[in-house]
Amino acid sequence: MKKKILLGLGTVVLLVFSLSFYMYDQTKYTTFGTAMSDLKNKMESDNAKSISKLIIDYMPTIEEYQQGIDYKYVIIEDEEQINRIFNRIVEETANMEVKETKERMGLTKLKILFFTKGSKYYSIRTTEKNIISNGIKKYKIIKNNELQNIIDSENLDWILD
């Protein structure tokens, strides 16, 4: 009889623990739109009124490099183009599913730097492990990397290095 009670109690404790962990893990899921809101709020609190320069770095993976894809970057100072790209990033990544992570970033694949008139900068970067950071927190991309899709679809004047 005692054995059944202990087994039942152990099962309940295990079930409660598993359910608690699952619920805690679910709170880490969000969209990158929330992460971009955090970045925009930080920019506003820093009085970063406008972006004067945008630098995008693309670092190929080893496999891409072996296929002939080189490091490239672009510097954009045209205000209209900067605003268009920034707005696309905000709008088109809004529903991108991500999960907050403490995992190490790994090698950077794509880095976007937004410079304000006072030379302060804010960054978004993705890694080969599909981790994305807004400079405040790190997230694992769950499905499609919409940020990469946006940059790939822009007609940018890349500088090869």
Chain segment 76-99, per-residue pLDDT in tens: 999 899 989 988 988 898 888 888
Q: Is residue 18 part of a domain?
A: no
CATH code of residue 106: 3.30.1490
Query: Alpha-carbon distance 121 to 127, whole Å?
Result: 19
Q: Is residue 13 part of a domain?
A: no
**What's the domain range around 125?**
30-160
60: three-class secondary structure by DSSP:
coil
Q: Is residue 16 part of a domain?
A: no
Which tens digit of pLDDT belongs to each residue from 115-127? 887 768 888 888 8
Q: Is residue 39 part of a domain?
A: yes
How many structural domains is the chain composed of?
1
Does residue 94 contact residue 36 with C-beta atoms inside 8 Å? Answer: yes
- Both tokens assigned to 119: 């030379």
Q: Is residue 3 part of a domain?
A: no
